[in-house]
Amino acid sequence: MHYYYRERLWPTAWIFIATALVIPASLIVFLPINTIVGIVTAVILYLGVVTMLLLASPVVAVSDSGLIAGPARLPLEHIGQPQVFLDEEARLERGPQLDARAWLLIRGWVSPVIKIPLNDPEDPAPYWLISCRHPQQVADALSKATSAIPAPEGPR
């Protein structure tokens, strides 16, 4: 499989710092019982949180077969003209302007989004909204991938 674009939505550093609050919280609970149990529990809980954050980091990719967004796949023939949203526009797309039927892959630590309309009349979702750090690169990759699709042959 050939990739035109691939990105994993890793959590940012502040997420790991914020989740470190599990350490003092578990120490407050377990230190009165036993110091060693409190320290071991705090370390294990924090490592568990970090592991879950890393394992739950989805991949956004454009391949020769379609768009990959976490566990979902979208064939190239169903992809419309993507739109890139940054900063305040991205916030509006994720919030007040969001269609409840849209398929979402949103991560709070990634501000930009790309909106991909669907050309599939059988799909109930009008579009996909995906968080990605470089949405213009995703849009460019989708353009390259769709232009590489051979044109269907007409009747002879």
For the chain, 156 residues long, give each residue's pLDDT as a single digit of tens: 899 999 999 999 999 999 999 999 999 999 999 999 999 999 999 999 999 999 999 999 999 989 999 999 999 999 999 999 999 999 999 999 999 999 999 999 999 999 999 998 899 999 999 999 999 999 999 999 988 776 556 565
Rg (CA), the chain: 21
Residue 111's alpha-carbon distances to 40, 96, 117, 150, 156, in angstroms, are 35, 15, 19, 35, 50
pLDDT in tens, 110-124: 999 999 999 988 999
pLDDT in tens, 58-73: 999 999 989 999 999 9
What's at 69, amino acid-wise? A
> For position 155, what pLDDT does the model report?
60
- Angle among Cα 94, 50, 20 to the nearest 5 degrees reads 90
CB contact at 8 A, 80 and 89: no
pTM of the model: 0.84
How far apart CA 85 and CA 76 sit, in angstroms, is 21
CB contact at 8 A, 92 and 66: no
CB contact at 8 A, 106 and 94: yes
Residue showing tokens 């077969």: 65
